[in-house]
């Protein structure tokens, strides 16, 4: 009888454990059947697990996914694991149901589905891909997108439709790349999926791929937005670029092969549930209080449907069931704005599938389990008098506001009551500060940043008194306090401060009381607001741009989108250049205020980590074709890889990208292809139960969930990512 250790050593000696570790490198080896059986039988299987081994004609298949799916529960449910270096797998903690299991992996095509129930052992036979093209069908979208050929550097700046076809506002190649990634095309959906790298059948009668692309961007209710985005990039040159991309793919061009999961990547367990409905799309979700991730342990998950529908989708992961919470504007006469389809959709025809009045964008949970959201409460142009000039509101006296497209709302599960909250300032993202007032800070206010004193609001119900806002003021006279200021278009006056038109996209209150955020555009910046004792009149701003060289080109990374702050005050940000950026203001050598502290004063505070996708085909500079939407920091070790771990959403990788001690760990969702999330949340359900009591939560955030491999009819999904000590832990 072989011991487990002896068996492992014997297997290591007999097997080429690199076989199948990356697509196209499998090597044939002879494996005695009894040894393969011993390997499978060495796995301890509980009555809620399914385990076994995966082999192919090449022997054990390491680093491939085993997927178990069931339709027996109230909503579609699946769980995915990765095989170890001997091709063994264990799917833990399954509910009582009948499951279909199959194998997916790079270098393979899907195996036939086999039936099993928890408590069983099941060996699976992997299917080697018959050719490179068949294998590539399973590659993440970003590998295909990396085949895109960006306009050459000498083509910039753009000279417009009568010139080189690139938009006149696009001054550099880097700025164009921003629009190709998370500043444009990738901001709403994944690019490079089968749905986007091929031409829909509806447009196959058009004469050229250029014509087909010109038509496809006008499809459906997002057509107007896509058309505006295209116009900003330059219609003609951009359509030529995408037409060339799809033509080359149709002619057989293939992307480089990704490596199979290695090391920690093989320890992930991914559970997923369907929620919402096929015509709705999610923006993001919330599971707990960011400041204390033990809140709402084992509780319900709440989502935000943005422009698609007026309800919050709810998942009960313990009961495997879903429900909905209706949300609505404060003004009963406001029914939203029409979202007409620009042209017939290849998926939905002329049906207008989105009809939201509230446009809920981002949810956050407080310490009592209430769900706070950014949501429209009224007509954006119906501005309350207390917001405007002449009001006695303290913030309006300092900086009156006009229209605002989105406001706030709160749902209390204990009473099942939703309350819209009318704000003067616009909102987009929101996050709680760590203060006695449970101040809720928001982004999306344009030239102002707004907040709500939620303690005061809950005690009094007075939304007017509980809210405030302030402009972004640089301390350019360097005296450490806020003074009168010059406007953004004026030169710096050494005796005054200066207002800037910064705006916040992301928002992230820090442990020291400051509030951080990101500023979109090129090269972009991150922003630090120090509220002071009375933020309406005392808040000061620090502004840190991405470094530029003497010619105005990015030194390395550029164009932030979503960002977060860690417990040490270090900012982490997703960049359109295909990097995760890190900014540490403690490294700044010069003054942080005064007349020179206007953006390019701390290049030494920045460092960059290229995300793990290939770079665009003709681009040589640092970076990748990724361009993640958001970087979120696991401040309290909810995943299990340590506190303050930064994680990017990996929209083109179909993964969460975890930066672990400077190395990337890809937590890839292999099924259905098309995982694309804009946010994540970490919760600790039981701090004493090891890996099983922790995990990250995410959802499909694409505006086009029907672009996933399962096609039209696919609903958005909730994902739970957990990291166990090894691939066979239960």
What would the DSSP string read from start to end of 671-689? SSS----S--EEEES-TTS
What is the 3-state secondary structure of 554-623?
Answer: ECCCCCEEEEEECCCCCEEEEECCCEEEEECHHHCCCCCCCCCCCCCCCHHHEEEEECCCCCCCCCCCCC
Whether the full predicted model's pTM is greater than 0.75, yes or no, is: yes
Q: pLDDT of 284-296, one tens digit each?
A: 999 999 999 999 9
Predicted confidence (pLDDT) at residue 637 exceeds the cutoff of 70: yes
Res. 303: pLDDT tops 50: yes
pLDDT number for residue 42:
75
> What element of type H or E holds 246?
helix 235-250
- Cα 562 to its chain centre, rounded Å, is 8
CA distance 407 to 61: 52
C-alpha Rg value of the chain to the nearest Å: 26
How confident is the model at residue 338, as a pLDDT? 86
SS3 199: coil
pLDDT score recorded for residue 147: 98
Note the pLDDT tens digit of each residue in 38-87. 455 578 899 999 999 999 999 999 999 999 999 999 999 999 999 999 99
Cα angle vertex 396, ends 371, 535, to 5°?
65
pLDDT, average across residues 251-275: 98
Q: Name residues whose C-beta falls within 8 Å of residue 419's C-beta, 6 or more positions apart in sequence.
A: 409, 410, 411, 412
Average pLDDT over residues 411-433: 98
- Directed axis angle between helix 4-14 and helix 33-41, to 10°? 140
Q: Which residues are within 8 A (CB) of 131 and not within 5 positions of it... i.e. 6 or more apart?
A: none
The answer, yes or no, to whether the previous bond of 672 is cis (omega within 30 of 0) is yes
pLDDT average, residue stretch 530-537: 98
Structure tokens belonging to residue 245: 């991309």
Q: Is the pLDDT of residue 438 over 60?
A: yes
| Residue indicated by tokens 């996209």 | 505
SS3 labels along 311-373: EEEEEECCCCEEEEEECCCCCCCCCCCCCCCCCCECCCECCCCCCCCCCECCEEECCCCCEEE
Q: Which of 577, 570, 586 is nearest to 622 (CA)?
A: 577
DSSP code, position 502: -
pLDDT tens sequence across 582-601: 999 999 999 999 999 999 99
In this structure, how many other beta carbons lie within 10 angstroms of the beta carbon of residue 292? 14
Position 13 scores a pLDDT of: 33
Strand ranges (DSSP E) for 18-126? 50-56, 59-60, 65-70, 77-82, 88-91, 99-104, 108-109, 114-116, 124-125
pLDDT at 154 over 80: yes
pLDDT (0 to 100) of residue 41: 58
Q: How far apart are the first and last CA of the chain?
A: 24
The DSSP bridge partners found for residue 82 are 65
Strand partners, 519: 525
**How far does Cα 361 stand from its chain's mean position?**
13
Please check the confidence at residue 11 and state whether its pLDDT lies above 60.
no
Domains of the chain and CATH, by start: 4-136 (2.60.40.1120), 344-666 (2.120.10)
Strands 681-684 and 717-723, by their bridges, are unpaired
Using CB atoms within 10 Å of the CB of residue 390, give its burial: 0 to 12 exposed, 13 to 18 middle, 19+ buried.
exposed
pLDDT tens for each residue of 169-183: 999 999 999 999 999
């Amino acid at each position: 009888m072989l011991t487990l250790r002896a068996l492992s050593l014997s297997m290591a000696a007999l097997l080429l454990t690199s076989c199948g570790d990356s697509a196209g490198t499998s090597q044939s080896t002879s494996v005695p059947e009894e040894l393969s059986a011993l390997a499978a039988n060495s796995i301890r299987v509980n009555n809620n697990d399914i385990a076994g081994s995966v082999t192919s004609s090449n022997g054990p298949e390491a680093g491939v996914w085993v997927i178990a799916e069931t339709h027996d529960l109230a909503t579609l449910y699946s769980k995915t694991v990765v095989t170890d270096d001997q091709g063994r797998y264990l799917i833990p903690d399954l509910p009582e149901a009948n499951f279909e299991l199959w194998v997916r992996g790079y270098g393979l095509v899907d195996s036939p589905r086999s039936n099993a129930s928890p408590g069983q052992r099941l060996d699976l036979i992997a299917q080697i891909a018959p050719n490179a093209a068949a294998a590539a069908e399973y590659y993440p979208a970003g590998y295909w997108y990396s085949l895109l050929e960006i306009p050459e550097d000498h083509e910039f700046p753009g000279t417009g439709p009568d010139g080189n076809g690139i938009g006149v506002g696009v001054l550099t190649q880097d700025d164009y790349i921003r629009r190709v990634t998370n500043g444009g095309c990738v901001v709403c959906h994944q690019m490079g999926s089968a749905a986007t790298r091929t031409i829909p059948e509806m447009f196959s009668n058009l004469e050229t791929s250029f014509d087909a692309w010109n038509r496809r961007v006008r499809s459906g209710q997002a057509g107007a937005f896509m058309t505006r985005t295209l116009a900003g990039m330059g219609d003609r040159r951009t359509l030529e670029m995408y037409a060339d991309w799809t033509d080359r793919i149709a002619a057989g061009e293939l992307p480089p092969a990704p490596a199979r999961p290695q090391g920690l990547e093989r320890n992930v367990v991914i559970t997923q549930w369907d929620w919402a409905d096929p015509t709705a799309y999610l923006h993001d979700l919330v599971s707990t209080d960011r400041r204390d991730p033990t809140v709402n342990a084992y509780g319900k998950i709440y989502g935000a449907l943005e422009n698609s529908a007026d309800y919050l989708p709810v998942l009960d992961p313990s009961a495997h069931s879903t429900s909905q919470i209706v949300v609505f504007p404060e003004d009963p006469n406001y029914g939203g704005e029409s979202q007409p389809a620009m042209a017939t959709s290849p998926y939905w025809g002329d049906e207008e599938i989105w009809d939201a009045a509230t446009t809920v964008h981002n949810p956050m949970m407080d310490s009592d389990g209430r769900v706070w959201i950014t949501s429209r409460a009224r007509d954006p142009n119906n501005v309350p008098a207390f917001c405007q000039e002449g009001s006695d509101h303290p913030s309006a006296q300092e900086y009156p506001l006009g229209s605002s497209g989105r406001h706030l709302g709160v749902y209390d599960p204990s009473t099942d009551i939703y309350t819209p909250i009318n704000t003067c300032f616009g909102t987009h993202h929101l996050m709680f500060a760590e203060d006695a007032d449970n101040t809720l800070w928001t982004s999306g206010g344009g030239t102002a940043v707004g907040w709500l004193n939620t303690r005061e609001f809950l005690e009094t119900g007075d939304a007017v008194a509980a809210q405030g806002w302030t402009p972004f003021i640089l301390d350019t006279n360097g005296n450490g306090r806020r003074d009168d200021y010059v406007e953004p278009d004026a030169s710096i006056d050494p005796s005054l401060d200066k207002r800037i038109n910064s705006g916040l996209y992301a928002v992230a209150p820090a442990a020291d009381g400051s509030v951080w955020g990101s500023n979109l555009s090129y090269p972009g910046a991150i922003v630090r607001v120090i509220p002071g004792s009375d933020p309406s009149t005392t808040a000061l701003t620090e502004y840190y741009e991405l470094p530029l060289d003497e010619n105005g080109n990015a030194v390395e990374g550029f164009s932030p989108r979503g960002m977060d702050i860690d417990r040490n005050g270090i900012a982490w940000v997703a960049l359109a250049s295909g990097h995760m950026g890190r900014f540490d203001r403690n490294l700044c050598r010069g003054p942080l205020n005064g007349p020179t502290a206007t953006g390019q004063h701390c290049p030494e505070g920045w460092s960059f980590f290229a995300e793990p996708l290939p770079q665009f085909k003709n681009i040589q500079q640092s970076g990748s074709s990724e361009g993640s939407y958001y970087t979120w920091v696991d401040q309290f070790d909810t995943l299990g890889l340590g506190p303050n771990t930064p994680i990017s959403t990996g929209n083109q990788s179909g993964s969460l990208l975890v930066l672990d001690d400077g190395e990337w760990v890809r937590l890839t969702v292999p099924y259905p292809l098309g995982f694309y999330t804009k946010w994540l949340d970490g919760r600790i359900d039981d701090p004493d139960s090891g890996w099983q009591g922790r995990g990250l939560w995410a959802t499909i955030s694409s505006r086009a969930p029907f672009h996933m491999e399962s096609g039209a009819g696919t609903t958005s999904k909730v994902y739970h990512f957990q990291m166990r000590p090894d691939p066979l832990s239960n």
